[in-house]
Amino acid sequence: MNPPILSYEALERALHLRDLTDALQGPHAMQQLVETIHEALAHRWQCHRHLHRANPVVSVAENYDRLGYPPEGAARDARYTRYVTPRVLLRTSMSAAIPGLLRALALDPPDEVLLICPGLVYRRDSIDRLHTGEPHQLDLWRIKRGRLDHDDLLDMVQAVVEAALPGRRHRVVPTEHPYTTGGLEIEVAAGEAGGDWVEIGECGMAAPHLLEEAGLDIRETSGLAMGLGLDRLLMLRKGIDDIRLLRAEDSRIARQMLDLAPYVPVSSQPAIQRDLSVAVEAETTPEELGDRIREAMHEHLDQLESVDVLDEMAYADLPPAAHARMGMQAGQKNVLLRLVIRDPARTLTREEANDIRDLVYRAVHQGACMEWAVPR
């Protein structure tokens, strides 16, 4: 079955979104964070660096096949991936650039190089203060003629955390990736004094099959692989608890996004809550709901702080009166959503909050009766 395809308008919006890691699109603190990290690694290893930027539209082969993802893996599911055609998509990770870079290296293998790949990646995701459908990611791959081992990987983790989040405690947790061996998840303490642990990235030894398929001699070559979530890192570095602030246009906020100094709140806006009861197809995920909302209200998305699923009920578990009220059909489910509406820079009126509620309702409700869908 072919996956659902992005509309032309959705693709155009995605491709025109500003990449905060790219200095050609204007200065931003995220660029300083990227530079701080790779400067620290290059100084530690005294190696050549190669900074690579690539088109975000990639083939399924580049994004999944060549990295070793299984053909039926959940990562390929259209519920989480934005397909442009059945064989082309918006990259889901910066690792999509790595197989091509490794093939280029195989033509004239260096003694040692640090591959640096920053940029936007594209996913379907829920809406809250910590997530976005277009996060920034940084892939760092150390390729060396010689043997690298697990201790080298741990040393890389320590160097990155020290550079990005000075003084912050960190730990690693075993995990698996199709393109590494000995995979680790990197977590840091949420606060400098402790608290919960927050994931900032993953890493591992570069999988021999990936190096070999690129044409590198695995008897002589080894590598370290790391992928970092730059939005989360920058929020931790500056003490920001709302991801929308990274792109805020209000001058009081925007000028604070030009360096790595701690963020100073400009105001404390009151939150407005609105609850919605909607009918959607039974298999719909929170990530799909979030993606529908982003596509429908992209111009007002900075005013929507979060969309939480409070409860779900199957068609069979609801009385006929509820079916009639929503125009609900067999094969659908009822989802209770809570919207937290708050502009990061100003107070919204009751009417503006209701307009946002109506936009969300029209974006997600699939029942025959439309309670809050009157055009304004």
> pLDDT (tens digit, 9 = 90+) per residue, 339-352?
999 888 888 899 99
Q: How confident is the model at residue 82 (pLDDT cuts 50, 70, 90)?
A: very high
3-state SS of the chain? Answer: CCCCECCHHHHHHHHHCCCCCCHHHCCCHHHHHHHHHHHHHHHHHCCEEEECCCCCEEEHHHHCHHHCCCCCCHHHCCCCCCEEECCEEECCCHHHHHHHHHHHHHHCCCCEEEEEEEEECCCCCCCECCECCCCEEEEEEEEEECCCCHHHHHHHHHHHHHHHCCCCCEEEEECCCCCEEEEEEEEEEEECCEEEEEEEEEEEEECHHHHHHCCCCCCCEEEEEEEEEHHHHHHHHHCCCCHHHHHCCCHHHHHHHHCCCCCCCCCCCCCEEEEEEEEEECCCCHHHHHHHHHHHCHHHHHHEEEEEEEEEEEHHHCCHHHHHHHCCCCCEEEEEEEEEECCCCCCCCHHHHHHHHHHHHHHHCCCCCCCCCCCC
Same domain membership, residue 353 and residue 211: no
- Quote the distance between the C-alpha of residue 33 and its chain's center: 17
Instruction: Give the residue from 221, 238, 255 where a domain finishes.
Output: 238
Which residue has better confidence, 270 or 203?
203
Between CA 69 and CA 61 the distance in angstroms is 10
Same domain membership, residue 222 and residue 318: no
Same domain membership, residue 197 and residue 334: no
pLDDT at residue 233 tops 50: yes
User: Per the domain annotation, does 66 fall within a domain?
Assistant: yes
What's the confidence (pLDDT) of residue 194?
A: 55
Lowest mean pLDDT among 78-87, 225-234, 272-281, 363-372: 363-372
Q: How confident is the model at residue 184 (pLDDT cuts 50, 70, 90)?
A: very high
What's the confidence (pLDDT) of residue 374?
A: 47
User: Per the domain annotation, does 224 fall within a domain?
Assistant: yes
- Write the CATH number for 130: 3.30.930.10
Same domain membership, residue 291 and residue 172: no
Mean pLDDT of the 19-37 span: 98
At residue 368, what is the residue type?
Answer: A
User: Per the domain annotation, does 249 fall within a domain?
Assistant: no
Please give the residue range of the domain that contains residue 230: 8-238
Other CB atoms within 10 A of residue 368 CB: 12
User: Per the domain annotation, does 265 fall within a domain?
Assistant: no
pLDDT digits (tens, 9 = 90+) for 130-156: 888 899 999 999 999 999 999 999 999
Mean pLDDT of the 11-36 span: 97
Instruction: Give the residue from 196, 214, 238 where a domain finishes.
Output: 238
User: Per the domain annotation, does 376 fall within a domain?
Assistant: no
Mean pLDDT of the 110-138 span: 93
pLDDT digits (tens, 9 = 90+) for 303-339: 889 999 999 999 999 999 999 999 999 999 999 999 9
User: Per the domain annotation, does 246 fall within a domain?
Assistant: no
Same domain membership, residue 112 and residue 16: yes
Mean pLDDT of the 46-63 span: 96
User: Per the domain annotation, does 306 fall within a domain?
Assistant: yes
Q: What percent of the chain has pLDDT above 90? A: 78
Structurally, how many domains does the chain consist of? Answer: 2
Mean pLDDT of the 203-228 span: 96
